[in-house]
Amino acid sequence: MNTDQALLKPITLAGGLELKNRVWMAPMTRSRADNPSNKPFDIHEKYYAQRASSGLIITEGSQVSKQAVGYINTPGIYSDVQVEGWKGVTKAVHEKGGHIFIQLWHVGRISHPDFHNGDLPLAPSAINPHEKSFTPEGFKETVTPKEMSRAEIKQTIQDFKNAGKNAMEAGFDGIEIHSSNGYLLHQFFNATSNTRRDEYGGSIENRAKILFEIIDALKEVMPEQKIGLRLNPSLNGVFGMTADEETIPTFEYIVKKLNDYDLAYLHLSEPFTDVSEIPYLVSHIAKHFRPLYKGTLVINAGFDQEKGNKVIEDGDADAVAYGTLYISNPDLVARFEEHAELASPDKDTFYTPGEKGYTDYPTLEEIKVG
Ligand SMILES: Cc1cc2nc3c(=O)[nH]c(=O)nc-3n(C[C@H](O)[C@H](O)[C@H](O)COP(=O)(O)O)c2cc1C
């Protein structure tokens, strides 16, 4: 293999998991679990196995409970049937020499009563994000959610723990906590979505507390070296999130405290929108947070091959997670090796059922054979 490129060099995670390169696949919801139990099945096996040359696949967000859902046809990781489905996926990826983590997801207020027999979605505080939820009847406006009781917070922590246990049983190499992109845990972190007055709100420490309680609970069912998590510190104006002066200090606190653990990795996103005019947000996330974190750091959002090699060479990240490029280039690693042309993804089939736009993107080899 050509290892001149930083992206193509192997990397070993805490705990000794050896990954063959630093071209990781970012978590992406593809809404193909269109069956009543939301279990992954053979098309998921095919899709992920096609991408097994990635150093590490991070699956689509997978709900940790029935309560955690906010979009149709997303897979779960809370029932036995779902675990059986995921076993097929992990086996298919491992047989091709790949590694795979599952992203554990709770959407919080980015949901709709239609998913919960008419009950309100749960969130840290009763504040409507004014977003859209993709329900069985199409997009609907979100509602004002129910403020979680302490008992509901404890139950949610248990749900993450149970999902982690299930992930181990399903054969995953690890899990990624989805504490990003405006979903439940991000809603706790942010002062504009969390106005609680108990021990889960108010101070930075309190707003971050649920994340550390989830990590501690997961550590009871798996080694901490199999736990990764995702943060999007400068997210603003999308997914219902409004940042403020306390936002970056909150993420700095979280990232520094993560050094108390020996985690698989920290997954950060560069800003999804231009935040250069907002004085209290950070435009260069990898650069800002790299000095604060001692473990493996993977960076995402907007990277191509050149920028990916550069961010690693500059010492600002250890690996790069590619999203949309992985939709249309199952053999992204081979294409990077050969500096080959990349295929563009078809947005119309990002979330549609079936194989179209999912498992039918050809590899370079397949194109050559014709
Ligand atoms: C179709 C689609 C689905 C996504 N679903 C998820 C998800 O389930 N979990 C998550 O953390 N991010 C999700 N994202 C965000 C991606 O992981 C990634 O941050 C984004 O695509 C930017 O990276 P890119 O520029 O390499 O595409 C999704 C993005 C896309 C395009």
One pLDDT digit (tens) per residue for the chain, 370 residues: 456 899 999 999 999 999 999 999 999 999 999 999 999 999 999 999 999 999 999 999 999 999 999 999 999 999 999 999 999 999 999 999 999 999 999 999 999 999 999 999 999 999 999 999 989 899 999 999 999 999 999 999 999 999 999 999 999 999 999 999 999 999 999 999 999 999 999 999 999 999 999 999 999 999 999 999 999 999 999 999 999 999 999 999 999 999 999 999 999 999 999 999 999 999 999 999 999 999 999 999 999 999 999 999 999 999 999 999 999 999 999 999 999 999 999 999 999 999 999 999 999 999 988 7
Angle at 191 between CA 226 and CA 296, to 5 degrees: 25
d(CA 312, CA 286): 10
Using a 6 Å cutoff on CB, does residue 322 contact ligand 1? Answer: yes
Ligand 1: nearest atom to the Cα of 350: 1
Our answer on whether the CB atom of 181 is closer than 6 Å to any ligand 1 atom is yes
For residue 216, the CA-to-ligand 1 centroid distance in Å is 26
Residue 242, judged by CB atoms within 10 A of its CB (0-12, 13-18, 19+), counts as: middle
Q: How far apart are CA 189 and CA 198, in angstroms?
A: 14
Between helix 150-169 and helix 80-95 the angle, nearest 10°, is 40
Name the residue with the closest Cα to ligand 1, atom 6.
28
Which residue in the block uniquely carries the two structure tokens 């004085």?
Answer: 279
Q: Which atom of ligand 1 is nearest to the CA of 74?
A: 8
Q: How many CB atoms lie within 10 A of CB 57?
A: 27
Q: What is the pTM of this model?
A: 0.98
Query: Is residue 103 within 6 Å of ligand 1 at its C-beta?
Result: yes
- How far does the centroid of ligand 1 lie from the alpha carbon of residue 265, in Å? 18
> What are the Cα distances from residue 318, in Å, to 55, 219, 265, 357?
12, 24, 10, 30
Distance CA 148, CA 166 (A): 25
63 lines ligand 1 (CB under 6 A): no
- CA-proximal residue: ligand 1, atom 31 (nearest): 324
Contact 299, 318 (CB under 8 A): no
pLDDT at 369: 85
Convert the pLDDT of each residue in 58-72 to its tens digit: 999 999 999 999 999
195: Cβ contacts below 8 Å, ≥ 6 apart: 124, 125, 127, 201
Which atom of ligand 1 is least distant from the CA of 345?
A: 31
Q: What is the pLDDT of residue 2?
A: 52
Distance from the CA of 34 to the center of ligand 1, in angstroms?
A: 20
In the reported structure, the alpha carbon of residue 253 is separated from the centroid of ligand 1 by a whole-number distance in angstroms of 25
Task: Enumerate the active-site residues.
Answer: 183
Q: 258 CB less than 6 Å from ligand 1?
A: no
Chain centroid, CA 183 distance in Å: 10
41 lines ligand 1 (CB under 6 A): no
N-terminal to C-terminal alpha carbon distance within the chain: 25
CB of 232 closer than 6 A to ligand 1? Answer: no
Which tokens is 370 given? 């014709």
Q: Which atom of ligand 1 is nearest to the CA of 324?
A: 27
Strands (E) across 39-137 are located at 57-63, 100-105, 122-123, 132-135
Amino acid 368: pLDDT: 87
- Report how far ligand 1's centroid is from the alpha carbon of 26 (Å): 6
Which pLDDT score, from 0 to 100, does residue 3 have? 64
| Residue 187 alpha carbon to ligand 1 centre in Å | 18
